[in-house]
A and B are shown apart, each in its own frame.
Chain A
Amino acid sequence: DVKVTQSSRYLVKRTGEKVFLECVQDMDHENMFWYRQDPGLGLRLIYFSYDVKMKEKGDIPEGYSVSREKKERFSLILESASTNQTSMYLCASRYRALKYEQYFGPGTRLTVT
């Protein structure tokens, strides 16, 4: 079974703090994704990565950056957290060959106070 894990299920941070969200997958998937999920807005893509050290902006990249130094790990960074970044963050991965079938982690619920 494919396993995608996220470092925390719940996280509380203060405004202005630098926040790291970690995602690890164990199936050698080339592609990885970060989404945020908000009520009434569904899932919105923040960033994705096709391979190690490669990244592309999604639909809402402002205020976020990412890092992919190893194939299995994809980090989302909030350089200076703000209250409007309070959300559920979901990581996903996929085999490039399967194109659209993504495997999701359980999510990190981030609260910025």
Chain B
Amino acid sequence: GDSVTQMEGPVTLSEEAFLTINCTYTATGYPSLFWYVQYPGEGLQLLLKATKADDKGSNKGFEATYRKETTSFHLEKGSVQVSDSAVYFCALPHTQGGSEKLVFGKGTKLTVNP
């Protein structure tokens, strides 16, 4: 079935370091792809999305490019801040029996130190 695999965390970086969080997917066709973020003590919120192959989603300095050749949607940021400390989830849509759901990766916890 459809699934996403994220790199295991936790990830610890110093402020202004470069961030990559890997995400690969298994799906039929070319689904939309999403990154959600969960800040401490909060629910998830949509960070960025890409709706077709070769699209680049971007928001708050984060970027992810939908690469169908490698079935990947890696999250990147050139210079992280302490405020980026959060758990990041890759997700893709899955339709089963007429129901449309999101399938989430297990999440990658990022800690950014000053």
How many residues of A sit at the interface, in one of the four size bands?
Answer: 20 to 34
The answer to whether A106 and B104 have CB atoms under 8 Å apart is no
The answer to whether B106 and A42 have CB atoms under 8 Å apart is yes
Specify which of A4, A41, A45, A103 is in contact with B101 (CB 8 Å cutoff). A45
Interface check B105, CB cutoff 8 A: yes
- Determine the chain A residues whose CB is within 8 A of the CB of B89 once the complex forms: 42-43
Tell me the smallest distance from the CB of B9 to a CB of chain A, in Å: 10
Alpha-carbon separation in the docked complex, A50 to B44 (Å) = 20
Chain B residue at smallest Cβ distance from A35: B104
Tell me the smallest distance from the CB of B69 to a CB of chain A, in Å: 23
Tell me the smallest distance from the CB of A58 to a CB of chain B, in Å: 7
- Determine the chain A residues whose CB is within 8 A of the CB of B49 once the complex forms: 101
Chain A 99-113 interface mask (CB, 8 Å, partner B; 1/0): 111111111000000
Interface check A48, CB cutoff 8 A: yes
The answer to whether B43 and A106 have CB atoms under 8 Å apart is yes
Tell me the smallest distance from the CB of A46 to a CB of chain B, in Å: 12
Interface check B57, CB cutoff 8 A: no
- Determine the chain B residues whose CB is within 8 A of the CB of A40 once the complex forms: 106
Alpha-carbon separation in the docked complex, A91 to B42 (Å) = 12
Alpha-carbon separation in the docked complex, A84 to B99 (Å) = 27
The answer to whether A104 and B101 have CB atoms under 8 Å apart is no
Chain A 42-72 interface mask (CB, 8 Å, partner B; 1/0): 1101001010000010100000000000000
Interface check A90, CB cutoff 8 A: yes
Tell me the smallest distance from the CB of B67 to a CB of chain A, in Å: 19
User: Of residues 64 to 95 in A, which have CB atoms within 8 Å of B's CB atoms?
Assistant: 90-92
With contacts A90-B43, A90-B44, A107-B43 taken as known, whether A102 is within 8 angstroms of B106 at the C-beta atoms is no
Chain A residue at smallest Cβ distance from B51: A100
With contacts A42-B89, A42-B105, A43-B89 taken as known, whether A101 is within 8 angstroms of B43 at the C-beta atoms is no
Chain A interface residues toward B at CB < 8 A: 4, 40-43, 45, 48, 50, 56, 58, 90-92, 99-107
